[in-house]
Amino acid sequence: MCSLLPINPGVTLPIKDTLLTVPQREEGGRTAYDRFDYQTAWGLSRLLELHESGNNYAVAFEFHDDVVSLDDADDPSSATFYQVKTKESGNWSFAKITSRASSKTGKKPSFAGKMFDNFIRFGATVEKLAFVSNQPLPDVITVHGEKEFSASDKEKLQKFVAALAAESPEFKDSEHTSLFFFVFSDLNLSSYENTIVGRIAEFLESELGSHIPPKPFALALNDHCRSRSKSLADISSFEQLRASKFITKADMLRWLSQAREQHESRPEWAAVASELKAPLPDKVKIERSWRAYEILLRSRSNAATIAFTEKVRSIIDPALETVADYASLIAATSASVAPVVRAWHAGADEHFVSAVILYELKR
């Protein structure tokens, strides 16, 4: 974990400093590699909106809250914290959002208490504290969108204010109620995965054209979000924190460029064959494996395949500094690449492994 500095509640530090030093409250769980969880899908939907707005955004997943967005990736001055909660049925109410369960050590924090805790930690740099759900809060909003808690009926709002003030003595209605917002998400709990893939398809079409298949890119984005929800390693600068925990506009632009290149530049066997020094029988078998591998790649467009190809390239790229030709590259990397290939495609022989090395090198 990053080193921690003393926190002075009376002083609001720049958010670049507080994000680096304030300890996290808790860590969430994970779902399967090839599936979106709801909060990641919602966070990705928000990410796409920010990208289309043209802002220099930065969005974190499971860092101090379910989703956190900064107003600027390079020089942030404010943050919005999103707590994402789903319900199978039934509406939300102020009573449910401020309800506190009992534990052996006393009362647990309410949803609202956890939200306000981010203000206690980050002070005036907090722009919004937003509660996101697939079900509405009728006292505030009944149609999909975002609305401030203070738009509610005054009598009902006062119950929220009283409950939160009782839980958090630092809370002051005149200063803090205006920070609270409710987001009634249009992602349906039973179909949100299809919906987010559809939105990514529309995003890809607007950015690159309709020829890029959306599912592999969607799964890659999902994996990028998941990787940023993992525990922090030792970090000492905001730049390291941003690279570890946030997805930025610059990241998205780079991934879009990679998606275009990977789709449009499929390597040709002829570009390798003329320079591959190998006996003819081996060359023929490697070529056949090359064709088979290309078909497998197209038929298995999923997150596991994306992770597999990235792992292979992480092995062969460093070896390029020490080899003179394709044959010596195969010799230098086969032992490390072979188990990775066979974990992805059981029964792959040495010629298939060689084909994978050469294909990923040229891709």
The string over 193-230, giving b where at least 16 C-beta atoms fall within 10 Å of a residue's C-beta and e elsewhere, is beebbebbbebbeebbeeebebebbbbbbbbbbbebbe
CA 10 centroid distance within chain: 33
Structure tokens at 343: 């974990």
Sign (positive or negative) of CA dihedral 115, 119, 120, 121:
positive
The structure's pTM equals: 0.75
Which uninterrupted H or E stretch holds 282?
helix 280-299
15: pLDDT confidence band, cut at 50, 70 and 90? confident
Please indicate whether residue 235 or residue 129 has the higher confidence score (pLDDT).
129
- What are the pLDDT digits (tens) for 159-214? 999 999 999 999 999 999 999 999 999 999 999 999 999 999 999 999 998 888 88
| Of 340 and 35, more confident | 340
Tell me how far apart the alpha carbons of residues 17 and 8 are, in angstroms, rounded to a whole number.
Answer: 13
Q: Which residue has the higher pLDDT, 205 or 1?
A: 205
Average pLDDT over residues 283-298: 93
- Residue where the block lists tokens 């790649």: 297
CA pair distance 243, 226, nearest whole angstrom = 13
Burial class (CB in 10 A: 0-12, 13-18, 19+), 246: buried
Confidence of residue 307 (pLDDT cuts 50, 70, 90): confident
Q: Residue 232 — pLDDT band, cuts 50, 70, 90?
A: low
Which segment of 2-6, 52-56, 70-74, 123-127 scores lowest on mean pLDDT? 2-6
User: How confident is the model at residue 298, as a pLDDT?
Assistant: 79
